[in-house]
Amino acid sequence: MRYLKLLLSCFLVATAVRAETNTNSPITRQTIIEAENLLGLHFSDAKNDLMLSGLKDQLDTFQVLRKFPLSNAIPSAMLFNPIPVGMKFETTRKKIKLSSPVKIKLPANMDDLAYYSIGELGDLIKSRQITSEKLTCFYIERMKKYGCKLECIITLTEDLAIHQARRADREIAAGKYRGPLHGIPYAVKDLLTIRGIRTTWGSAPFKDQLIDEDATVVKRLEAAGAVLTAKLTMGELAWGEVWYGGMTRNPWNLKQGSSGSSAGPAAATAAGLVPFAIGSETHGSIVSPCDRCGITGLRPSYGRISRNGAMALTWSMDKLGPICRTVEDCAIVFNTIQGPDGVDQTLYDLPFNYDSKLKWQKLRIGYLKTDFDTEKGERKDKDAAVLEKMRSLGAKLVPIELPKLPIHDISFVISVEGAAAFDDLTVSGRDDLMKRQGLHTWPNAFREARFIPAVEYIQATRIRYLLIQETAKQLENVDVFLAPSLSGDSELLTNLTGHPCVVVPNGFSKAGTPTSICFIGNLFKEAEILAVAKAYQDSTDFHRKHPNLDN
């Protein structure tokens, strides 16, 4: 036995020596030691020697995988489940109940039309006071006038829009009215595919990319009779407001970016270039630009809206959602685009029973006490005023807290999945073509993510599982809660758990730029948070303020 052990030891040493002297092998004992240092690990020399041959085989496997063609459209087989253990959901479906229509007339100053809500524009079209074609041309002219100033448009789809608008007018004239979006112009963030129109993802390596299919969201809006006028800017591969053609501007302050990554949808809607737009959020990409531009947005629950035809960044966190002028506009658009499509396997078939007359005061409404108490600066007073306003409207606010888990330490799941989604971009070196380079940019983040071990990624997802369960326990006694838009950890935490959020304007800074507040609810409870957010918005006029684009 002793002889066999000695023989085995000699064999391992000889193997290690051969590996270290083989100039064709990129992996040596020292390579392993350096890799261990990078990952905060330490194994003995004997254990390192044992790994040599296996690590070489792994490298061969990696080379094979990198040669296998995988487009961004191919999802991961590991599907994220945001539903806590034991949670039950409403299954009864009811017809959406919008606010009672108000008699609307064309304004004397047509520029005022730019800031009408979907409901108001829909009434004008339905009552034949304006045609869809005339309304569409009106918005397209505004895009041509202000689009360059805001740097918010990538592709103007004028021919398609006129075709769709004329079709809407014919149908409405024939008595075939499809609903509140019939004939209403809109635009989409340029991560959604449209047949015959390029999809750039805001990044130079993809600026001539043509994915010849219609995204599910685009199909559903077309079926509702909406009119597509443009594809709008987005932060490069969904980060920030900088894209390959420039930086999207805040309509309230042109020296300032509009934030991202739904930069174009927020800026264009706030500036009255479209009545609404489709954005997306992985980690603040609807909330942040809506806050910056003073516009209303809905980040739905994970699993509500199909991402078929949308650029994938992080499969377990990406969410599409409407950016609109009012809360009820968000309800109208969401009602049209939500639900399973038979393609995106992450979707849940659950009802959306929005009721504008919901007795929302009966809901259990909480607020993140610590986040409000520790907030600093002028936002603190504005957010405190929201709490007082809600109390005056009849809300019995309950202080709550969210779980204290290492959410920032597991947020690397975003860059890991993003690195996988854009692996070819990194490996090929085409990331050099991207506009943003440096420390806090996607090219560097994707490269760094290559050094995150699969084991740590899985461990992060296990902590995320605990986060879902603990958050559900913390929210057992509330239906909706309020959170500061830019303070505390609620934005990251609820993106990791998949909870829905409505962001609405709540005032202006001393510099004259907008601020906002967030209403967050339980999974798939968009109807409740929209009703509560609407009650607040209806009691204020911040959403009726508009930037002066000619100043």
> What b/e string do you get for 456-494 counting C-beta neighbours within 10 Å, with b at 16 or more?
ebeebeeebeebbebbbeebeebbbbbbbbbbbbbbbbb
Task: DSSP letter for 206, please.
Answer: G
Q: Which helix or strand (DSSP H or E) is residue 136 part of?
A: helix 132-150
Helices (H), 151-262: 158-173, 216-223
DSSP state of 366: E
What dihedral angle (degrees, nearest 10) is formed by the CA atoms of 173, 174, 175, 179? -70
Which phi and psi (to 5°) does residue 507 adopt? 150, -165
Which of 73, 71, 75, 70 is CA-nearest to residue 345?
Answer: 75
Q: Which of 420, 416, 447 is nearest to 431 (CA)?
A: 447
516 strand-pairing partners = 505
Give Cα 72 to chain centroid, integer Å: 17
Return the beta strands (E) in 361-416 as ranges.
365-368, 397-400
Cα distances (angstroms) measured from residue 402 to each of 86, 317, 489, 494, 503: 19, 19, 9, 10, 19
Alpha-carbon distance of 102 to 430, in angstroms, equals 54
- Give yes or no for a contact between 327 and 296, defined as CB atoms under 8 angstroms apart: yes
Cα gap 236→253, rounded to integer Å: 21
Contact predicate 203/243, CB 8 Å:
yes
Element (H, E) at 229: strand 227-232
Whole-angstrom distance, CA of residue 302 vs CA of residue 7: 58
- Residue-wise DSSP of 73-100: TPPPSS----PPTT----------BPPP
Region for residue 478 given its phi and psi (left: phi exceeds 0; alpha: psi -120 to 50; beta: otherwise): beta
Which residues are known to be catalytic? Answer: 189, 261, 285
Q: Euclidean distance between the first and final Cα of the chain, in Å?
A: 90
Which residue has 């204290």 as its token pair?
404
Contact 184, 274 (CB under 8 A): no
Read off the amino acid at residue 435: K
Distance CA 462, CA 525 (A): 25
Q: Is 134 exposed, middle or buried (0-12, 13-18, 19+ CB in 10 A)?
A: middle
Distance CA 431, CA 438 (A): 12
**C-alpha angle 350-356-362 in degrees, rounded to nearest 5:** 85
Element (H, E) at 258: none
